Amino acid sequence: MEHDVQSIISGIGIIPVISIEDEEKAVPLAHALSDGGIPAAEITFRTAAAEGAIKKISQNCPDIFLGAGTVLNIEQCDRALSAGAKFIVSPGYNSDLVHYCLSKNVPVFPGCVNASDLTRAVNDGLTIVKYFPAEQSGGLAGLKALAPVFPSLRFMPTGGINANNLLNYLSYDRIIACGGSWMVKKELIEAENWSEITQLCKNAVQTMLGFEVYHVGINCANPEQSQQDSQSFSSIFQFALRSGNSSNFASERLEFTKHPYLGTHGHIAIGTWSMDRALYHLAAQGIEFREDTRKRDKSGKTTSIYLKQEIAGFAVHLLQKGMGEKKHG
């Protein structure tokens, strides 16, 4: 159970932290989040509508990874779980609450911002904790100062996270996801501005994944054609030439294979900041991948993989940014 939850949280990458005053707005809000590519919600027990909102989302939006936040005690925890919450988040470290959740095999993420809190978390067997309030507690620098002392823990920073610092936090490999409320601000919910919430979610996902065209690979019949075509582009546009084992390059963006590879015409490489999260989000759209093309680094993390489908006669190659020099050959 814990492993599944960890995979889901890490894959989604962003957990909207929601304070809602009217439970009737819960379902359209959940749809707005899902339409924006973030099928997750942490409904906080800061309002009287929290329990009802969790229940409505649980009953009507089964695709939403749903949790309860600002849970202060066991009584609130029971209400949240009965309503349909799948995980519990607390602002601080309540040992009774943590032990209760663990006894029921319920994922719980207590707020921790100092060595004492983190020591309790490790001793209680937790592997994920909420780092809250993140920005007010030293931000990423503060977290990086603490994290090495607790190598078994991963973190979900919340508090002060926004579109401007999201990628900075997520670039740290000890962070499993970020919690934030900038895409679900109270005034947007009250105004039922679902389209704006959806757009803010899409923007957040794009910031997190950072998709961009990395290079275009053109299939050549043989090494001679590859050399000739790459030199033509170099001569006309003054692109730097580079020769690899299986391809020639005119700049880093144009690759000319020495022998035909995947794709009718070649391939288009799309770079991303996070392969694992990109794979999760693309799979959620129904995209399938060619497992025979998956490459991993020494730690086992995926560095590149091809999609099964071709687009306009080109295979599509997804790869980790910074790995552009590592081609199919």
Read off the tokens for 158: 């919340």
Between CA 246 and CA 223 the distance in angstroms is: 9
Q: Are 218 and 229 in contact (CB under 8 A)?
A: yes
State CA 86 to chain mean position distance.
19
Read off the tokens for 106: 């319920």
Q: Which of 136, 80, 143 is nearest to 108 (CA)?
A: 80
286 three-class SS: coil
Between CA 67 and CA 300 the distance in angstroms is: 30
Residue 42 a catalytic site member: yes
Q: Which of 23, 25, 42, 255 is catalytic?
A: 42
Read off the tokens for 191: 């105004």
What is the phi-psi region of residue 286: left when phi exceeds 0, alpha when psi lies from -120 to 50, beta otherwise? left
Pairing of strands 87-90, 108-110: parallel
CA dihedral 181, 185, 188, 189 (to 10 degrees): 80
Read off the tokens for 161: 């996270």
Between CA 288 and CA 195 the distance in angstroms is: 28
Angle of CA points 61, 67, 72, to nearest 5° = 145
- Cβ–Cβ contacts within 10 Å for residue 18, how many? 25
Q: Are 36 and 200 in contact (CB under 8 A)?
A: yes
Residue 298 a catalytic site member: no
Between CA 303 and CA 323 the distance in angstroms is: 7
Q: Which of 55, 56, 86, 130 is catalytic?
A: 130
Between CA 132 and CA 184 the distance in angstroms is: 18
Q: Known catalytic residues? A: 42, 130
